[in-house]
Amino acid sequence: MKVLLVEDNERVTQFVVKGLQEAGHTADHAGNGRDGMFLAASEPYDVIIMDRMLPGEIDGLAIIEALRKSGKRTPILILSALSDVDERIRGLRAGGDDYLTKPFAFGELLARLDALTRRSQGDSAQTKLEVADLRVDLLTRKVTRGDRSLTLQPREFKLLEYLMRHADQVVTRTMLLENVWDYHFDPQTNVVDVHISKLRQKIDADFERPLLRTVRNAGYTLTSHD
Amino acid sequence: MKFLRSSALTLAVGYIGLGLAALALFAAPLWYAWRVTIQEGRNEILQSDAQRLTEVFRREGAAGLISYVDQRVGLQIAGERLLLVADARLKPLAGNLSAWPSSVPANPGTYTVKLELGQHMTDVAIVHATLAGGYHLLVGRDTSRYAPLERRFWYALAGAVAILSVLGTVGGILIRRALMARIHGIRQTVSAIIQGDLSHRLPTHHSGDELNTLSQTINGMLDQIEQLIDGVRNVSNAIAHDLRTPLAELRSRLEELALTKPPIDKTFGEIDAAVADVDQVIRIFNALLRLAEIDSGLRRSGFVPVDVAAVAAAAVEFYQPAAEVRGSTLSLDAAGPAPIRGDPVLLAQALGNLIDNALKYTPGDGSIAVAVRRSDDGSVEIVVADSGPGIADTEKIKAIERFYRGDASRCTPGVGLGLSLVDAVARLHGSELKLEDNHPGLRARMVLTQDTRPITRAARATSDEGEFRHEPVYP
């Protein structure tokens, strides 16, 4: 994917750009609000990473608002040191699609960028999800793997649905907390891991090919590839 | 000249001036009325006297009048009443004056004139009448007869002025002294506080006067300031301790790497460990920022109706697998919805922390019971009780303090801010966290009320309800 990073801190820029290139993406960089605004408006990007506090007259939120007003629908991830819940809400209201606070782990950033770009390709209308031989029917809420029907608790179903919607992507623990449980705080224990292992028991234990895998230092992924 | 600048003295002088003005306003009409009454009465007497003598003259002629006057003068005490009968050329014929006084006007009438009586010039009220045949009649009276009375009046007035001034001044001084004593006390206390000793409080008593009320209000403010400063001090101590440990670890790890240059796979292992150290520091930082955010009270502006029972159910469901893995039971007792106005995110985090804490300290096969009860008065009680080792009574208050970790728990993961965060959330919702014995185990309890005024911490409460907290990132 093609990423625009609007960020004034050089170390963070270097870290993100290098990481994105290593993950096989192309990244452009703007060091101030005006350049960021210009690039975002003129070039087609798959996703934009926007710092909030930028040198120059234009700050991150102003750029986002201007882009949204001009009809640009490019997904935007706000990257900011402002961590208050209110700041997060302001960022999302201005037109951002996700909000990540500094300092952050690169895995978290990459996973969220993936989620944003896939989502913008549009799959919300789907009623049937499929990964290898695992099938989920969102209308009847039936889960089957191969020819076996599986019984899931409501929350397990929601967890699986989220993982399947983001199949072949890495989803982090924070992403699961925010989207499956709507918890916007750090519960400080490995409860998410326990939920995952329970789900794994149901969908993977009796099958030869495990689908739900742990990605070291990042999170989980549901995939049929090796 | 400090005394002259005192507000108490200014007040006293003002009151004295006001008193004197009132006295003058009261005495002046009285004095005037008195003077007029006396004068009129005296003139009436003189006129009737003159009339009676005129009557004698008309009946008995000049000789009769002269003998009558002589007779009366003989009987009377001199100076009491003046009588004089004179002929047309003002030559005295009878009476107790040796000569017709030159100061008496020539025309008949009623006058007040100065006469020499004995050795003194005296004010005398006279009636001058002319009789048939050119005779002149003079009837007079010494006005100094009322002088002592008049004098007494002035003395009394002067006395009143003196008493008023003295009492006013003395009162002013006494009030000032009392006021100065109390102000001095306040000033000493405030100076001590400025010097840095925040434990001082203004002296108060039960009188409930204005100064006392003011002192009590200021004391309340000082309590708050002291608590805030203590909070800051505790937090900086705790940061120094709990943040330094992972930082020291991180530093030595990196320095060792730079010095020893170990093989590449070991280097990567060390780097991973270093990142974990940094993550721990970030976690502590985030917890502190969260606490500061809650303590500021700003979150109250985002209060919305919340069903605490639903929040508790979600939290219990979230932690259920973790309890199962440990072999503990986690149960919820909630009868129907328990609505309050509050912050759903913070309430979820508080409940999560309580359950997490209970799980952490309860050994396997223990039980954790979460209960949400709604009272008739609309308050909602949240109880999280476990069957773990509990906390000793002496440690219970400390447990809520920031960065406190029981000695027994030094080796379990956590940053020691869990319970203080719960307490901060409870305070934001007009309650506080109470730790009780569960025989055995710990009962963490808080009663959230509809009346969400802060318990002690300073907070800016606004009625703005526009903010919606729970926006999901992916709609």
Q: Per residue of chain B (475 residues), give pLDDT as tens.
A: 555 566 767 877 888 888 889 888 988 888 888 888 888 888 888 888 888 888 888 888 888 888 888 888 777 654 567 888 888 888 888 887 778 887 888 788 888 888 777 677 778 888 888 888 888 888 888 777 777 888 888 898 899 889 988 888 888 888 888 888 888 888 888 898 888 888 888 888 777 788 888 888 888 888 888 877 877 777 677 677 667 777 888 888 899 888 988 898 989 888 888 888 888 888 878 777 777 777 776 666 678 888 999 999 999 999 998 898 888 999 999 888 888 888 888 889 899 989 988 888 888 788 999 999 988 888 899 999 988 887 777 777 777 765 554 544 434 445 567 788 888 888 888 888 888 888 788 888 988 876 544 444 333 333 333 333 333 333 3
Is the domain covering B296-448 a CATH 3.40.50.880 domain? Answer: no
C-beta atoms surrounding B301 within 10 Å: 16
**Domain range annotation of chain A:** 2-120, 128-222
Q: Is B356 on the interface with A (CB under 8 A)?
A: yes
Q: Taking chain B, what is the end-to-end CA distance rounded to the nearest angstrom?
A: 77
Give pLDDT tens digits along chain A (226 positions): 899 999 988 888 999 999 999 989 999 999 888 899 999 998 899 999 999 888 877 888 999 999 999 988 899 999 988 877 778 888 999 999 999 988 888 888 999 998 888 765 555 677 888 888 899 998 898 999 988 899 998 889 999 999 998 888 889 998 999 889 888 887 767 889 999 999 998 888 888 888 999 988 788 999 887 7
Q: Do B325 and A155 touch (CB under 8 A)?
A: no
Give the residue from chain A lying closest to B324, CA to CA.
Answer: A194
Chain A interface includes B471 (CB < 8 A): yes
Q: Chain A within 8 Å of B290 (Cβ-Cβ)? A: yes
CB contact under 8 A, B352 and A187: yes
Over the stretch A150-193, which tens digit does the pLDDT of each residue have? 999 888 999 999 999 888 888 999 899 988 988 888 776 788 99
Contact B473 A191 (CB under 8 A): no
Domain chopping of chain B, boundaries = 2-151, 223-291, 296-448
B223-291: which CATH number, 3.40.47.10, 3.30.1330.200, 1.10.260.40, 1.10.287.130?
Answer: 1.10.287.130
- State the first-to-last Cα distance of chain A, in angstroms, to the nearest integer: 22
Contact (CB, 8 A) for A169 and A177: no
Q: Which residues pair with B112 in a beta bridge?
A: B125
- Cα B84 from Cα B60, distance rounded (Å): 17
Do A186 and B283 make contact, defined as CB atoms within 8 angstroms? yes
Residue with tokens 């003011």: B214
Could you write out the DSSP letters of every residue in A61-92?
HHHHHHHHHTT----EEEEES---HHHHHHHH
User: B interface mutation test: which of A113, A161, A184 has the most B CBs within 10 A?
Assistant: A184
Partner B contacted by A81 (CB < 8 A): no
Strands A171-172 and A2-6: unpaired
The residue in chain B having the minimum alpha-carbon distance to the alpha carbon of residue A198 is: B321
**CA distance linking residue A72 with residue A62, whole number of Å:** 14
Contacts of B331 (CB under 8 A, 6+ apart): B316, B367, B368, B369, B370
Neighbours of B124 (CB within 10 A): 23
Q: Among partner residues A184, A190, A191, which is closest to B318 by beta-carbon distance?
A: A191
The complex's ipTM?
Answer: 0.80
Residue A194 to residue B325, Cβ atoms within 8 A: yes
CB-based contact, A103 to chain B, within 8 Å: yes
Pick the CATH number of A2-120 from 1.10.20.10, 3.40.50.300, 3.40.50.2300, 3.40.50.1860: 3.40.50.2300
Position B346 scores a pLDDT of 86
Chain-chain contact of A198 with B282 (C-beta, under 8 angstroms): no
Give, in order, the Cα–Cα distances in Å from B136 to each of B37, B122, B124. 28, 22, 18
Q: Cα–Cα distance between A135 and A139 in angstroms, integer?
A: 12
Domain spanning A128-222: CATH 1.10.10.10: yes
DSSP B411: T
Contacts of A194 in chain B (CB under 8 A): 321-322, 325
User: What is the CA B139 to chain-centroid distance, rounded?
Assistant: 72
pLDDT of residue A46: 92
Across the interface, of A179, A183, A195, the residue whose CB is closest to B321 is A195
* Residue A179 to chain B, least CA–CA distance (Å): 7
Six token digits for residue B267: 């280097």
**Where do we find the tokens 């240059």?**
B261
Mutate to test the interface with B, among A161, A166, A194 (most CBs of B within 10 A): A194
Question: Is A189 within 8 Å of B356 when comparing Cβ atoms?
Answer: yes
Amino acid at B312: A
Residues of A in contact with B325 (CB under 8 A): 194
- Residue B347 backbone dihedrals phi, psi, to 5 degrees: -65, -40
One CATH from 3.40.50, 3.40.1350, 3.30.1360, 3.30.450 for B2-151: 3.30.450
At A169-180, the pLDDT tens digits run 889 998 999 889
Question: Are the beta carbons of B134 and B128 closer than 8 angstroms?
Answer: no
